[in-house]
Amino acid sequence: MTESRQIDQGKPPRTMSREQRRTQLIEATISTLAARGYSRTTLTEVARTAGLSHGLVLFHFETKEKLLGETLAYLAEEYRQNWQGALANAGPDPAEQLNAMIEADFAPAICAPARLAAWCSFWGEAQSRPLYQEACGDKDDAYNATLEGICARLSNEGGYDRNPVHAARIIRVTTEGTWLDMMTMVTPYSPAEAMTTVRTAAALCFPNHFTPEGLK
Amino acid sequence: MTESRQIDQGKPPRTMSREQRRTQLIEATISTLAARGYSRTTLTEVARTAGLSHGLVLFHFETKEKLLGETLAYLAEEYRQNWQGALANAGPDPAEQLNAMIEADFAPAICAPARLAAWCSFWGEAQSRPLYQEACGDKDDAYNATLEGICARLSNEGGYDRNPVHAARIIRVTTEGTWLDMMTMVTPYSPAEAMTTVRTAAALCFPNHFTPEGLK
DNA sequence: GTTCTGATTGACAAAGCAGTCAGTCAAAGG
DNA sequence: CCTTTGACTGACTGCTTTGTCAATCAGAAC
């Protein structure tokens, strides 16, 4: 499910491998969710977005429920890989790691309008379907644990006496609230502006290491 | 639309006044949105929740679209009255006012699970429906302007050299992110715990006036 | 070329939905 | 008691949607 995200756009062959087609249909589902919202996302519309017949969607995913579940899993996995990759590329310094995680959360691939809108669609249905808590609960757990660990090390090494659990929570809810803002605000809201907001929160928690513009 | 939110629960008469019935149906819509999500909210289910026939829902609201639009307007108005009322009851001191607004955002009437879930349903559809952006956006404008004003006065009078726009934004996105957390977290999340998170953010912005537990 | 396998299509069935409407019922006013 | 008015019901319609399936098609293996 995670390999070969890229789809060959040269001249689409009539048939594709199972994995390629599934990925293409999941991407079409994300686009449709963003364009029409969860409630008006139909199999026919997903198929039309992909330029395929609606029967094929069910051939590959069996039911609409499973298509949406796999779409959510795809988004969750993409999100996880994004921040874990950014963290792996950052140095051992906790301030750099925290900065890397903040930047990762607003990377174009993650907080592109269509991606955010798709996430938001799922949030709206979350409370009524265990599906989402399954897919997202684990992801959030790993993210939180990592963030708290980084904040704890930054607190210790940086000489702050801040509660790392509180700091991590502030950073996380600030990020989530900013995503929601980007979705619901009428006036456009750039990723750069969003990141400034989260960095401001980081600067409040760790003023010796962060400014609203980034690392000190 | 704003008067007489209370419904007489003694022994339901066969007929009710137009306004009472509309309010009852809007409340049933909120419950249904929370229980089943936006996409599976049907007129029949709303009617069943209210113990009425589905024809009556259309008699009072004409279309499903209008029912949902009025439900959102009802929620937005309820929200606005809640924080404006809390603000009116607070003293002239900006720190007290900020505290009042934070408490208002987590008052049981506002962040009850069903209310939050209903809001979340609308967020998920917002980007694809201009109807909802209006209702959600306008509420935010007045709220933001007020919050920024309070932060500006607190910054001045309290001797902080903090950018009040940034502080207000931090408080707001922290609140919104915490709401989202309350919706999507698997582990339960009490309003008291939520308020602690936002007060921690306030304490970071205005440490001489706030602690995570409340006003100093 | 032939065959085999798996992807793909589109016609179809079944179910659920919003919205319509003719008629019922209850309360109020005469 | 009679009439009027407005709330209310439930059967019905037409449309949309999900899901099924037999037939078709393209590419790979031989």
Which residue is nearest nucleotide C21, judged by alpha carbon to C1' distance? B55
Query: In terms of residue numbers, what domain contains B21?
Result: 12-62
Average pLDDT, chain A: 89
Identify which of A143, A144, A142, A147 has the alpha carbon closest to the alpha carbon of residue A98.
A147
Chain centroid to Cα A139, Å, comes to: 10
Residues B54 and B74 in one domain: no
pLDDT digits (tens, 9 = 90+) for A62-78: 999 999 999 999 999 99
CA distance linking residue B174 with residue B121, whole number of Å: 20
Residues B24 and B69 in one domain: no
pLDDT digits (tens, 9 = 90+) for B146-174: 999 999 999 999 999 899 999 999 999 99
Report chain C positions within 7 A of protein CB atoms. 6-11, 16-22, 25-27
- Asked if residues A27 and A19 have their Cβ atoms less than 8 Å apart, the reply is no
Contact B40 A197 (CB under 8 A): no
- Asked if residues A61 and A73 have their Cβ atoms less than 8 Å apart, the reply is no
Residues B141 and B39 in one domain: no
User: Nearest nucleotide to B20 by CA–C1' distance?
Assistant: D7
Does B103 fall in a domain? yes
- Asked if residues A89 and A51 have their Cβ atoms less than 8 Å apart, the reply is no
Looking at chain A, the whole-number percentage of residues with pLDDT higher than 70 is: 91
- Number of domains into which chain A is organized: 1
ipTM above 0.90, yes or no: no
For residue A184, pLDDT over 70 is answered with yes
CA distance linking residue B150 with residue B55, whole number of Å: 48
Does A10 fall in a domain? no
Residues B52 and B120 in one domain: no
pLDDT digits (tens, 9 = 90+) for B69-109: 999 999 999 999 999 999 999 999 999 999 999 999 999 99
User: In the structure, what pLDDT confidence band is assigned to residue A16 with cuts at 50, 70 and 90?
Assistant: low
Answer for A11: CB within 7 Å of strand C: no
* Predicted pLDDT of residue B134: 74
CATH classification of the domain holding B37: 1.10.10.60
User: Nearest nucleotide to B50 by CA–C1' distance?
Assistant: D8
Contact A166 B205 (CB under 8 A): no
Residues B21 and B33 in one domain: yes
**Residue B42 at interface with chain A, using a CB cutoff of 8 Å:** no
Residue type, B101: M
User: In the structure, what pLDDT confidence band is assigned to residue B189 with cuts at 50, 70 and 90?
Assistant: confident
Å between A182 CA and nearest CA of chain B: 10
Q: Residue-wise over A143-165: b if at least 16 C-beta within 10 A, else e?
A: beebbbebbbbbbeeeebebbbe
